[in-house]
Amino acid sequence: MPVATESTAQRREAILEILQVEDVLRQSQLVGLLAQRGITATQSSISRDLQQLGIAKLGSGYQQPRSETATRGNQSESRARLVRVDFVREINTAGPNLTVIKTAVGAAQTVAVFLDRASWPEIVGTLSGDDTIFIATQNVSDQRSLVTKLQNHFSD
């Protein structure tokens, strides 16, 4: 394994361990906690790591999904699915080509990034706030297909 990839994997594993036992409110705090473990990290690398791990900043700080610890070592898709299941609260339609997803506070961007990266053909674009995502589709047929995918993907 290349050194950069190995250090990234070690840093991400340490982040998950820290979040299990510490309340982390800021990325700078996480940089310091990693430094105590002998892991050098920048705020920008932490930001990328948190995004890749599907960790969202909620009211009480950075949190991993409830089931995250059970998936250690599994593929990133399993981890991403747990994030989506834990963070999505509601899926609704608003007109013939607008779908609205309500999430846990602070989790909308994490879910929207997943949707953007999924490259589903039904999605024209997404716009996220703190706990709401708007998803545009071309037409009602695409919207129906999208809602079915979303319900399948985001249900337990």
CATH number at residue 34: 1.10.10.10
Asked whether the beta carbons of 19 and 55 are under 8 A apart, the reply is yes
The pLDDT score that the predictor gives to residue 49 is 87
- pLDDT-derived band of residue 139, with 50, 70 and 90 as boundaries? very high
90 and 45 housed in the same domain: no
39 and 95 housed in the same domain: no
Q: How many domains does the chain have?
A: 2
The residue-averaged pLDDT of 7-17 equals: 87
Q: What is the pTM of this model?
A: 0.56
Provide the residue range defining the domain that includes 33: 3-53
The pLDDT score that the predictor gives to residue 77 is 53
Q: Extract the tokens encoding 34.
A: 């990693």
Residue 59 belongs to a domain: no
In the numeric block, the tokens 């898709």 are attached to 77
The pLDDT score that the predictor gives to residue 55 is 82
Residue 60 belongs to a domain: no
Share of the chain above pLDDT 70, in %: 80
Is a pLDDT exceeding 90 seen at residue 148? yes
**φ/ψ of residue 4, rounded to 5:** -60, -45
Residue 71 belongs to a domain: no
Residue 127 belongs to a domain: yes
- Cα–chain center distance at 134: 16
The residue-averaged pLDDT of 67-92 equals: 58
